[in-house]
Structure 1
């Protein structure tokens, strides 16, 4: 290609770039992107043009295209600050705050200016808002947690010293006990797995409150029974 032709292409490229920048400032992002695309047909690896078109795509909501152009601008030069900033901005808009923060920091190390500093602050704030800080987390005792609280209170009550119990057993109560056994099966069916917990708590209550029972046989005036003392 002769020098005049190269100069003509260069002039045309700059014309497309200037037109794209003008349209971008006017808010004509779609037309601006078209102008930058025409410029890239002449110089497909121009970093500044790729970043400019990436900005247009970002404004248009075409985030994948914006990210692709931003990454393409870094292929030849990973330290290209405009490309790093544009990639960070696109990632932030996409909601990838952690990756955006990485590129904001990377750009700030290369060029510690206000744009990267503001980017770091807003990305960090977005991360904190999305995951929450430990100090902002409050545990509330409601729902299923209330069951755990009540269970803890019951266990605490069981650990308190219990008064001495005197249990009197008479033969005539045997018929009542047999009647209660008939309903035991029904209770087991109704409670299901909770029946085991019920029996355990009852046993625990007796063990904690009464210890080991010692039974002595006594005779009354007209009745024969068992007196069990702790």
Structure 2
């Protein structure tokens, strides 16, 4: 008699397929094939839209692609499934940091640090976010957060950060000026090119459809997008610090017309 086929649990099969897709995407992430990784995470979440591992992993992938808003959304979705998930807390803190919402980011870095004080990633997150606050809106709010951190975590490195934060408060800058200053620190001399191209795209002669300037516009947009990706990359690697000589920066493929 033919052997009876064992019944497959649909939920178990779903979990297996989701895990397989995530594992494949993890491998793409390791070799910096972020677009291919994103495809796998999307497929995994089509199978199971509440899978925390897939949500957190896709959030990280979005950050590396410069899609901070989407990264934040995935992290928040993961936290609705498990509000104490440490990876989701970290991803939300990172996404808020890249969006320039430094105070909220600092709050979640502190939350993660309280829950897992042995993880250096949260301690480093607190430090870089304090630097960002100090460099953008002054130091009074940074001091308040630092004092709380010292009481709760007793890390020796916080004493140094606290002293640095107790400087004279600087005038609050507009959001545009804050972004501009950060761009200059992150892009170095390339910031001048980025500002020029952004202004060029706003030129009335370029935006008119009857000037046959579509190719110029597309080249300019491609260059601006490339520079924005560079800015996001350096924001993650060296938050709020100056770059080395910009000629040594390129790691992503250059625009086709370079």
Which band: TM-score by shorter chain? 0.5 to 0.7
Q: Secondary structure of the equivalent of 2:81?
A: coil
Taking the aligned partners of 2:137 and 2:123, their CA distance within structure 1 comes to 22
Per the TM alignment, residue 138 of structure 1 is displaced from its structure 2 partner at its CA by: 8.7
The CA distance in 1 between the partners of 2:170 and 2:68, in whole Å, is 36
Larger Rg, first or second structure (1 or 2): 1
5+ long unaligned stretches in structure 1: 140-230
**What are the within-5 Å matches in structure 2 for residues 120-135 of structure 1?**
120-133=126-139, 135=167
* Aligned residue pairs, count: 138
> 1:9 Cα deviation (Å)?
2.9
Pair 1:38 & 2:47 matched: no
**Residues 119-171 of structure 1, C-alpha deviation per residue, up to 9 Å, x if partnerless?**
011111111111234734699xxxxxxxxxxxxxxxxxxxxxxxxxxxxxxxx
2:63 maps to 58
In structure 1, distance between residues paired with 2:19 and 2:111: 30
Against the structure 1 CA distance between its residues 53 and 130, is the aligned structure 2 distance closer, same or farther, given a 3 Å change threshold?
Answer: same
Aligned to 2:197: none
- 1:155-194 per-position Cα deviation (integer Å, ceiling 9, x unaligned): xxxxxxxxxxxxxxxxxxxxxxxxxxxxxxxxxxxxxxxx
Q: What is the aligned-residue RMSD (CA, Å)? A: 2.0
Specify which structure has the higher proportion of strand.
1
Give the TM-score, by structure 2 length.
0.50
Note if 1:74 corresponds to 2:106.
Answer: no
Q: Partners in 1 of 2:100 and 2:8 — Cα distance?
A: 47
List gaps (5 residues or longer) in structure 2: 1-6, 140-165, 172-258
Structure 1 residue runs of 4 or more that deviate by more than 6 Å after TM superposition: none
Give the 3 Å change call, closer, same or farther, for CA 4–116 of structure 1 in structure 2: same
- CA shift for structure 1 position 7: 3.8
- Structure showing greater relative contact order (alpha-carbon pairs closer than 8 Å, 6 or more residues apart): 2
Residues 137 and 170 in structure 2, CA contact (< 8 A), matched pair in contact too: no
Q: Deviations over 1:46-71 (max 9, x none)?
A: 11110100111111111111110010
Which residue of 1 is the match for residue 31 of structure 2?
A: 26
Distance, in Å, in 2 between the alignment partners of 1:72 and 1:122 is 25
Deviation at 1:3, TM superposition (A): 2.8
